[in-house]
Amino acid sequence: MMSDPSNEVPACPEAMFRLDDRVAIVTGASSGLGERFARVLRASGASVVIAARRLERLKALAAESRTMLAVQCDISVPDDVDRLVRTTVDQFGRIDIVVNNAGINDPVLLAEDESRDEFRRVIEVNLVGTFDVARLAARHMRQAGRGSVINIASMLGLVASSPIHQSGYCASKGALVNLTRELAVQLASSGVRVNAIAPGYFGSEMTGELAADERSATFVRRNAPMGRFGAPGELDGALLFLASDASTYCTGQTLVIDGGWTAR
């Protein structure tokens, strides 16, 4: 009797993580985790369109490889998002992977001291802008019958940030976690997967001041069961799992990479 091919172990298991001939978009790629994500996807074989507001930084990153293309984009501006998606399709013919990494945080203030405009700005970028990128890219993915959208949420979409007060950031990332579920269910039958990664405290441009302040750094070390910030490379595995064929039956999920913070 013939064996079921789905039960066979591939001769080279790591090959399922390869992204050869895939096309990826990474937003917020001018620094920090986004820059790392772009390099990891490229190293695994993908052509990568890198997007952010700071064009000079994008150009410097794109100069590292002929398979990177820099596109200036503020995801809170609809015309920018339209141009990002259109440029990707015009240049490469399709979109296989989207990493929605662009985001901002709000001033560290008590809620009663944070203005409505400040709160709205964080929601506009972290939630509405991310939705805009995902929905436009998903149109092309649906036509192709496959694709992977990876939203970069945060563990602070699952738990409160206090005593570091960030009402807008927590609200936006919590909403992004559930938006990921809803988009995943809407797109599941078309072969498009939507998942999220929720990092804990990682060293990046956004958390630079936090890491540099000894009192804040002590707070992180005391509350993370692993006793430290995450290193950038510790998100590589989650990224490649969700971007590649290693996760073809995974959708609507949020992978929390936080050193055990939310396990308490």
At 99, the amino acid letter reads V
Taking the alpha carbons at both ends of the chain, their separation in whole angstroms is 49
Rounded Cα–Cα distance for residues 188 and 6 (Å): 20
**Residues whose CB falls within 8 Å of the CB of residue 145, separated by 6 or more in sequence, listed in order:** 190, 191
> Closest Cα partner for 251 from 99, 116, 149?
149
Q: Which of 119, 169, 201, 229 is catalytic?
A: 169
Rounded Cα–Cα distance for residues 198 and 226 (Å): 16
Distance, CA of 243 to chain centre:
11
Q: Which residue has the tokens 């001939």?
A: 21
Rounded Cα–Cα distance for residues 67 and 20 (Å): 11
CB atoms within 10 A of CB 225: 11
Q: Which two tokens stand for residue 98?
A: 């989207």
**Residues whose CB falls within 8 Å of the CB of residue 165, separated by 6 or more in sequence, listed in order:** 108, 109, 110, 111, 114
Q: Which two tokens stand for residue 57?
A: 């930084």
At 223, the amino acid letter reads N
Q: Active-site residue 169, yes or no?
A: yes
The residues annotated as belonging to the active site are 169
